[in-house]
Amino acid sequence: MKYQPPFTITPEILNRVAAISEAVGRLTVLRDQARALRLRRINRVRTIHGSLVIEGNTLSEA
């Protein structure tokens, strides 16, 4: 006996699933870009702080 789900897949359902998948993909890309920008900013601050320490400046990373 084959299982028959209580629904049928229609073109509207497929379109909505595709739209949801596209939105999730966009959010994933945006999140990854935001993370990369944050890491770049942190690394820049650390680099500047390291240079200032070498020169004897007491400025902290904060």
Rg (CA), the chain: 25
What confidence category does residue 13 fall into, taking pLDDT thresholds of 50, 70 and 90? Answer: very high
How many residues in total does the chain contain?
62
Q: What is the mean pLDDT of residues 3-10?
A: 88
Cβ(29)–Cβ(41) below 8 Å: no
Cβ-proximal residues to 12 (8 Å cutoff; 6+ apart), any chain: none
Average pLDDT, the chain: 86
Instruction: Answer whether residue 46 shows pLDDT above 90.
Output: no
pLDDT of residue 62: 67
The structural domains of the chain, with segments of one domain joined by +, span 13-57
This prediction has a pTM of 0.52
pLDDT of residue 12: 94
